[in-house]
Amino acid sequence: MDYWEKANHSWSTDSLRYINTSTKKERELFYYIQEIGYFKASKPYFTERENLPSYLIKFTLSGKGELFYQGKRTIIEAGDVFFIDCKEYQHYKTISHEPWEMDWIHIYGSNSRAFYEEFIKNGSNTFRTTQKGLVQNPIHLIIQDLLMLQQEPNAKTAFQSSIFIHQLLNELLLQKYRQDFSSTDIPDYVLAMRALIDDEFRQPITLERLEETFHRNKYQLVKAFSKYIGAPPIDYQISKRISYAKDLLRYSKMSIKEISMAIGIDNTAYFSRLFKSKVGLSPSDYRQTENGR
């Protein structure tokens, strides 16, 4: 199907909008901006479109909008972010008496699709940031930096914009999945769990053992460890084992069986299957590839 769009451009005179035309090099190398802006959009502002090769991110500062996307109608309020694939049908509009104030950016290129799919893995294209002070939110600040770059573009602008877009995409995931924490926020028992696994990753470690050691429900332990460390405890242990196995494959003359035993896996065939599932190569192929470099 062909791209089509209907819209009403009822935005204020102090609103900003930049439309970019990317070069072939930019499309091949970078995340790049197609359009970007800051709007105070009053009724009857709306956009309705489909089949546009673009990803749209909107961050609401004040007022209210309504998004209809993938058959779902969502009210968008201050602090809300949505991230949509504009190839799919979408309709969004102002519904508040005051203007819908928003930052917005159309992006494409590089790993945009992968970030989009990670963003929607919980089934939602929207989220509300928990950070206070919307004008100090990193999402707003990054888009403001991108807007400033467009005012007087030069030979570095595409490079700088790509860096900021990557930072923006990371920030969306950090805030949506509540990973925008500092190291001081990590509970002591999570740090202690990580230290135990780091020290004893070659030994059998079960959730039941962690539950008994840290006096917390194993499901709570898995949830907290996953949030703050980035993977469940057992997956973290497996990663430690695989990393150690890679080191031994590169820098020792131990056999595959000896390495399997050294990392705490008695079944060599299972170790080989596990290693290939994590690395993409069998242990012997990995050793040959690394030693041939």
| Per-residue confidence (pLDDT) for residue 178, from 0 to 100 | 79
Per-domain residue ranges for the chain?
4-176, 185-291
| Per-residue confidence (pLDDT) for residue 185, from 0 to 100 | 85
d(CA 65, CA 75): 6
Dihedral (CA of 282, 288, 291, 293) sign: negative
pLDDT < 70 positions in the chain: 180, 292-293
| Per-residue confidence (pLDDT) for residue 69, from 0 to 100 | 98
| Per-residue confidence (pLDDT) for residue 113, from 0 to 100 | 96
Q: What is the pTM (predicted TM-score) of this model?
A: 0.76
Angle between helices 112-119 and 157-176 (to 10 degrees): 20
d(CA 209, CA 224): 16
Contact in structure between 282 and 276 (CB atoms under 8 Å): yes
| Per-residue confidence (pLDDT) for residue 49, from 0 to 100 | 97
Q: Residue 76 half-sphere exposure, CB side, CA atoms within 13 Å?
A: 30
| Per-residue confidence (pLDDT) for residue 206, from 0 to 100 | 93
CATH superfamily of 185-291: Homeodomain-like (1.10.10.60)
Asked: is 4-176 a CATH 1.10.3470.10 domain? The reply is no
Q: pLDDT for 161-214, tens place per residue?
A: 999 999 999 999 999 987 767 788 899 999 999 999 999 999 999 999 999 999
